[in-house]
Structure 1
Amino acid sequence: MQGYAFTLSGEALIARGSGALYWPAQRTLCVSDLHLGKSERIARRGGSALPPYETQDTLQRLEEEIDALAPDQVICLGDSFDDAAAAGALDGPTLIWLQRLQAGREWIWIEGNHDPGPVGLGGTHLADMSKPPLSFRHIAQTTATGEISGHYHPKAAIKRTGGRARPSFLIDSARVIMPAFGTYTGGLHSHGSVLGSLMGRSAIAVLTGPVARAIPMPR
């Protein structure tokens, strides 16, 4: 799977077509908004039944990235679970799968607004993380630089081709806002006022897919 290479605060990064971010110099893989257990959470709260396979699909795609890149560190950038109860509802085979992915590498769970506390799994649980010159958190801070965050599930489309909106990285000189990696996740169009206020005028969107494609951020 191809990626788009760029720099942030002088560090070379790769926005992968999968929606994962790779920092080669640190052998660090970052994903955001896995929302594991979303179908279980919706069913538990009396919502429409969804096929209960999104956790397996998300973990399969994450495993493919880990197999391809062999990272020493994985950072999950918040909202890794759709809520705290969803983490507790993971079945035995899924827990074993997660443990296998974690084995032999540092695994960081950044807290999100859907999972604001430890989830009782292996790894380290942090509110945010500084790895100079970069910082990692769930929700972007307007004054930050060298920041990598998630939360908004950004998506964008190439208007002139009439293509559908795809999960997308938003990148400017100060920050990266990552797409949601989870299978059952919606998204916020980049042309909305919230993302427009966070991103600089020269920001780009990197559309995910078999080829990671960079375009000026649609506004």
Structure 2
Amino acid sequence: MSLTFRLADATLIARPSGALFWPDQGVLCVSDLHLGKSERMARRAGTLLPPYETRETLARLEAEVEATGARRVICLGDSFDDAASLDGLEEGDRLWLTRMIAGRDWIWIAGNHDAGPLEIAGSHRAEVHLAGLVFRHIAQTGAQGEVSGHYHPKARLAGKVWRCFLADRQRLILPAFGTYTGGLWSHDPALSGLMQPDALAILAGGAVARAIPMPR
């Protein structure tokens, strides 16, 4: 189901869900949850979407935490759709998230949607350096051993659109984990300019994570 690969000296696992697992460190990493997006859209634009995306995202996240037995969870930014989205969560959803955090080293990395401090358990960081890898929200030119998110990469295969990891020898970009999230095509210049010519797209969202040459 999952796909194992190496980045720098780390052996990592791309999960079909779009989560990343680092067994040696007990780390589960997800990006761009965008919790509270439907509430934010209703608040700002009056656009009404079914308000179930937070629960669906939390259910998938909890399933990954339990399946991997992760001791540390790193959320790579844009975990909340804006700085006010945490306050807009229903009480049951907030308690659900709090229970998941309890007993784990839970790290919230600042994103461009949720750059400010959040009133929720866990530590809040700009980026994290761990055993030769750096975790941050947006990829930086020339970085080595970098794990990031932000772009919500997607690719098309056999007429179907897939969320995907983008991986080369220097960096890894995670897909968006949140339910109400769009995506940026892997052939967009913003992504093709970051990734090396031999980069892979690891397709997520199905029963199996599978790698193909990154569509350009």
Q: TM-score range by the shorter chain?
A: over 0.9
Q: How does 1:188-203 map to 2 (within 5 A)?
A: 188-203=184-199
What is the identity, as a one-letter code, of the residue corresponding to 1:218?
Answer: P
The corresponding residue for 2:201 is 205
Structure 1 length-normalised TM: 0.97
The corresponding residue for 1:156 is 155
Once the 2 structures are TM-superposed, how far is the Cα of residue 211 of structure 1 from its aligned partner? Answer: 0.5
Secondary structure in 1 matching 2:84: helix
Once the 2 structures are TM-superposed, how far is the Cα of residue 178 of structure 1 from its aligned partner? Answer: 0.3
Q: How does 1:57-72 map to 2 (within 5 A)?
A: 57-72=56-71
The corresponding residue for 2:181 is 185
Once the 2 structures are TM-superposed, how far is the Cα of residue 48 of structure 1 from its aligned partner? Answer: 2.1
* Unmatched tracts of structure 2, length 5 or more: none
Aligned equivalents of 2:141 and 2:46: distance in 1? 35
Once the 2 structures are TM-superposed, how far is the Cα of residue 47 of structure 1 from its aligned partner? Answer: 3.7
Among all aligned residue pairs of Structure 1 and Structure 2, give the percentage whose two residues are the same amino acid. Answer: 60
Aligned equivalents of 1:85 and 1:75: distance in 2? 21
Structure 2 length-normalised TM: 0.98
Q: How many residues align?
A: 215
Does residue 172 of the first structure (1) align with residue 168 of the second (2)?
yes
Does residue 87 of the first structure (1) align with residue 86 of the second (2)?
yes
Q: How does 1:38-57 map to 2 (within 5 A)?
A: 38-57=37-56
What is the identity, as a one-letter code, of the residue corresponding to 1:85?
Answer: A
Once the 2 structures are TM-superposed, how far is the Cα of residue 132 of structure 1 from its aligned partner? Answer: 2.5
Aligned equivalents of 2:25 and 2:37: distance in 1? 31
* Unmatched tracts of structure 1, length 5 or more: none
Once the 2 structures are TM-superposed, how far is the Cα of residue 119 of structure 1 from its aligned partner? Answer: 1.0
The corresponding residue for 2:213 is 216
Return structure 1 stretches of 4+ with deviation > 3 angstroms.
none
Listed one character per residue, the Cα deviations across residues 116-151 of structure 1 (whole Å, up to 9, x for unaligned) are 022100000001111120000000001110000000
CA contact (8 A) 1:88 1:119 kept: no
